[in-house]
Chain A
Amino acid sequence: MLESVLVANRGEIARRIMVTARRMGIRTVAVYSEADADLPFVREADEAVPIGPPPPARSYLDASAVLAAAQRTGASAVHPGYGFLSENPRFARSVMAAGLTWIGPPPGAIEQMGDKINARNLMAAAGVPVAAGTTEPVTDPEDAVAQAARIGYPVMVKAAAGGGGIGMSAAAGEAALRQAFETARTRAERFFGSPAILLERYIERARHVEVQIMGCADGRVVALGERDCSVQRRHQKVAEETPSPGVTPALRERMLAAAVRAGEAVGYRGAGTVECLVDPAAQDFVFLEMNTRLQVEHPVTELVTGIDLVEQQFLVAAGEAVGFDPLGVKHEGHALELRVYAEDPDRFLPRPGVITEWEEPAGPGVRVDAGYAAGNQVTPFYDPLLAKLCVHGADRGEALARARDAVAAFKIAGPRTNLPFHADLLASAEFVSGGYDTSLVSRLRP
């Protein structure tokens, strides 16, 4: 087994990875920017190395600073978490070239899935359904208009190299398309270093449902169930649940089989997520993209399966067998995750600040993955995720009831948070009915 791991991330996910590492007897090394020196993940690590000033480009995205820290501390492995360097194949390769274990999929799989156009084409070839869309990068607005006419409006415009909903928007007609194209192109260039754009048929009233997969060291790919991520603002997830209330057993079976084919098509190893759009009326789905890393919302899968996904990542990376029976995965009960963001609960605008009070809920079925504690400063440099409030219940009704109690018991003072939004969400008839789609938040906050 691995002797030590450097966690190339911050906040809640760095802390969560270290919890499992510690349990497995793996020594932990944190890296941190000047802005994060007081956060729990730095204090709790066996060793912590400062890697630069607050802007991500000069710290958490600085591959050479991260690698230097790994070598200086004698770390034997690097876990990238999500975001930052996690889907950077060059970084993965340089970790391996330095003789360290990369806790992630083969760099080639990251590369193949990182370009969304390539991923779509690859999935179509592997028999995974994809929406009508462009098979080549679109770089010219006139070409975009011609392609959209072929695909049919409404179309979704997104960065081919993108992620996180950045620069993405739907267009109902040509004028909107020209505007969406321009926005997507500038953002794509700025955030992802490539102006290539992808157009896809936009499915209205769709649910966003993803499948967790695990590629075993022996080459088998296992699907560990789905997560419904339809509660989104600005195309970014706010709450997730499993099982999805919008997926029938027959559809689930098809989705899980397709996700396994997707993983097999790229020789996947470790934890990955195949994101799909589901048309609930037609009980049909299309491939959206694959995230070649641990997903933010992985805890809901852990809660219903009892499988520690980070532990499996370590095992697979070390070339060992997974710690569960791939043929006997059982799903028990229902789990929800509520992302607690430092943002105002009405317009969802960022609200950094100093945390003066922090009291987490506890009780049966409640799990909190937090990145902060009282006294910490929430800075504007990183994403607004403070904590993930996760609950598990015997059924959806019990999970919802536990979630309501936990939201009410979570006390955070200082920065404003979206906890009041979560209280409204859990009280909304549409969410409680289970019959919601990705436009739910726009109806709750018109």
Chain B
Amino acid sequence: MPFGLLTDGHEGEEPWVTEVRAEMVANVWKVVAAEGNQVSDGDTLVILESMKMEIPVLAEVSGTLSKMHVAEGDVIQEGDLIAVIE
């Protein structure tokens, strides 16, 4: 069962960017998408792991993954930036 995490939509002037942030403290188990990838709404970007549960982080918009801020094995805090989609 996929759980989409908090996606902060910051629609600026041009180009619009969407920041994907962590909804909870977690370990980064797998980075699925790479910088430069075209991603669609619903695609898995990374898979987090917290308290023995896998939590896929999904793109909630379509666009280009311009920045991946986490690497496998990282421990991230609530609110940390995971990725940016343009």
Contact = CB atoms under 8 A, between A and B. Distances in A.
Nearest to A54: B75
B80 interface: no
Interface string B18-35: 000001111100000000
A13 to B, nearest CB: 15
Grouping DSSP codes into helix (H, G, I), strand (E, B) and loop, the A interface class, with mixed when no group exceeds half, is loop
Q: For this complex, into which size category does the number of interface residues on chain B fall?
A: 10 to 19
A284 B27 CA distance: 43
A351 interface: yes
Nearest to A353: B25
Nearest to A416: B24
Interface in B33-74: 49-53, 55
A381 B23 CA distance: 16
A382 B53 CA distance: 10
Contacts of A382: 51-52
Contacts of B50: 350, 352, 380
Contacts of A351: 24
Contact of A347 (B3, B49, B52): B3
Given A349-B55, A350-B51, A384-B51, A379 B25 contact: yes
Given A349-B24, A352-B25, A383 B3 contact: no
Given A381-B27, A382-B51, A383-B52, A349 B3 contact: yes
A9 to B, nearest CB: 15
Contacts of B25: 352-353, 379-380
A297 interface: no
A379 B75 CA distance: 10
Contacts of B49: 380
Contacts of B1: 234
Given A380-B27, A380-B50, 4 more contacts: A55-B27, A349-B55, A380-B24, A382-B52
Interface of A: 55, 164, 166, 234, 342-343, 347, 349-353, 379-384
Interface of B: 1, 3, 23-27, 49-53, 55, 75
27 contacts: A164-B52, A234-B1, A234-B53, A342-B51, A343-B51, A349-B3, A349-B53, A350-B24, A350-B51, A350-B53, A350-B55, A351-B24, A352-B24, A352-B25, A352-B50, A352-B51, A353-B25, A380-B25, A380-B26, A380-B27, A380-B49, A380-B50, A380-B51, A380-B75, A383-B51, A383-B52, A384-B52
